[in-house]
């Protein structure tokens, strides 16, 4: 079977941790490495969390390269506490994951991406699921490697409603200029934004069931306490949105996602709409589409794909 070679750019993060498990537990993927960014927490924390998850699932062979510690241009004032991911970014479990014994690979995220692309025989898919800072920096510093990028499948954006402002999604608003550079780059882009990811949830009762499936799902279940509370109490959602995982599920099975080609740009000047992925749904501006935008998802097969990957990983390491 031909595998999909990916580099995942993460800001771990609870849904990032689950997406990492999907990437590592689904046989369709060959994960070349994880690069990290600030986002859900500071980069120091998301990097440690990435290492912790790899150690948890026994995949310490995969390189991790630390990346952006702040957005390209905009101010960076991270909150002391994330109401979605907790202090430690992994739900502040009663029995937290141990400090990792493995370390990062000695290259910065952008160096790692550039070297990996250069050395790869075939084009590689980039899967950024945090702010687009690392990808934008790669685009600016390595124009010669753009042909080596097969496509960029990102979690971020929304055609109309936001979760971090009335109109902006969290990954994009944390570095609008970086996202602007990505959408202007000419790279092939798939955007898994809130239009679809809100609907890609694991229902609360399904979560209870899932928590008993295997040792890894048990661990993830205990990680999800604060994340579940966020969706139940504040978002009034029927379940926990698996935002970051949708990128990967879309790659494995394109049929799962209802998608449209649109012209997308990012507002980098607005007072109220800064960080919005402005999507020309009715092609008013008459520009050629530059992104394929996820507008819906078949929830049940999507959630099942995540569960199966986690079961696979759990079986590989007792």
Partner 1 sequence: MSKIPVVIDCDPGIDDSIAIIMLVGSDKVDIKAITTTHGNVGLEGTTKNALGLREYLGMDCLVAKGAAKPMIVPLKNASEIHGANGLAGFELPQPQGTFEKDAAWDVMYDLAKKENGEMVLVVLGPMTNVALTILKYPDFKNYVKRIYMMGGSRLYGNHSPTAEFNIWGDPHACQVVLKSGIPVTMADLYFTYSNSVTGAEMKEMYSHAKKLKPMMDAFIAHDMKFTEAVGADFDNHKITICDSSAAAALLLDGDCLVTEDYYVVCETQSGENEGQTVFDYKGHLKGEPNVQLCISIDKEKYQGLIRDALAHFE
Burial of 21 (0-12, 13-18, 19+ CB in 10 A): buried
Select 70 or 243, whichever has its Cβ closest to partner 1: 70
Select 104 or 247, whichever has its Cβ closest to partner 1: 104
Question: Segment contacting partner 1 (CB under 8 A): 10-18, 176-184, 242-250, 289-297?
Answer: 176-184
180 belongs to the binding site for partner 1 (CB under 8 A): yes
Give backbone dihedrals phi and psi of 121, rounded to 5 degrees, phi first. -70, -35
Question: Segment contacting partner 1 (CB under 8 A): 19-27, 62-70, 91-99, 253-261?
Answer: 62-70
Select 133 or 214, whichever has its Cβ closest to partner 1: 133
CB 139 within 8 Å of CB 187: yes
- CB 200 → partner 1: shortest distance, Å? 32
73 belongs to the binding site for partner 1 (CB under 8 A): yes
Residue 243 known to be catalytic: yes
- CB 289 → partner 1: shortest distance, Å? 21
Sole binder of partner 1 in the list 10, 21, 23, 72 (CB under 8 A): 72
Question: Segment contacting partner 1 (CB under 8 A): 66-74, 117-125, 158-166, 296-304?
Answer: 66-74
Q: Are strands 277-279 and 264-266 parallel, antiparallel or unpaired?
A: antiparallel
Question: Segment contacting partner 1 (CB under 8 A): 20-28, 106-114, 153-161, 205-213?
Answer: 106-114
- CB 146 → partner 1: shortest distance, Å? 13
CB 238 within 8 Å of CB 207: no
Sheet holding 149-155, edge to edge: 64-66, 29-36, 4-10, 124-128, 149-155, 189-192, 291-297, 257-262
- Euclidean distance between CA atoms 139 and 266, whole angstroms: 16
Active site residues: 243
Residues in contact with partner 1 by the rule CB under 8 A:
66-70, 72-73, 108, 110-111, 133, 137, 140-141, 143, 177, 180-181, 268-269, 274
């Amino acid at each position: 079977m031909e595998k999909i070679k990916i580099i995942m750019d993460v800001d771990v993060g609870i849904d990032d941790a689950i997406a990492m498990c999907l990437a590592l537990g689904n046989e369709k993927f060959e994960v070349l490495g994880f690069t990290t960014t600030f986002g859900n927490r500071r980069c120091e924390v998301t990097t440690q969390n990435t290492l912790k998850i790899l150690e948890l699932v026994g995949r310490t062979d995969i390189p991790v390269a630390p990346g952006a510690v702040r957005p390209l241009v905009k101010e960076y004032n991270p909150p002391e506490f994330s109401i979605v991911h907790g202090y430690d970014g992994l739900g502040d479990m009663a029995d937290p994951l141990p400090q990792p014994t493995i370390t990062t690979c000695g290259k910065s995220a952008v160096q790692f991406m550039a070297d990996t692309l250069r050395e790869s025989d075939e084009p590689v898919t980039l899967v950024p699921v945090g702010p687009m800072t690392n990808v934008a920096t790669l685009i600016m510093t390595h124009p010669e490697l753009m042909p080596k990028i097969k496509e960029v499948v990102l979690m971020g954006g929304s055609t109309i409603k936001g979760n971090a402002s009335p109109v902006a999604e969290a990954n994009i608003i944390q570095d609008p200029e970086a996202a602007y550079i990505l959408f202007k780059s000419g790279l092939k882009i798939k955007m898994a934004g809130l239009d679809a990811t809100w609907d890609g949830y694991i229902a609360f009762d399904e979560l209870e069931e899932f928590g008993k499936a295997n040792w890894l799902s048990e661990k993830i279940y205990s990680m999800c306490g604060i994340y579940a509370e966020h969706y139940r109490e504040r978002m009034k959602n029927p379940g926990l949105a698996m935002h970051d995982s949708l990128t990967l599920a879309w790659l494995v099975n394109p049929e799962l996602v209802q998608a449209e080609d649109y012209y997308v740009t990012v507002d980098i000047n607005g007072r109220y709409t800064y960080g919005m992925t402005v999507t020309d749904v009715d092609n008013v501006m008459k520009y050629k589409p530059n992104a394929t935008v996820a507008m819906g998802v078949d929830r049940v097969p999507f959630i099942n794909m995540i569960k199966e990957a986690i079961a696979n990983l759990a079986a590989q390491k007792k």
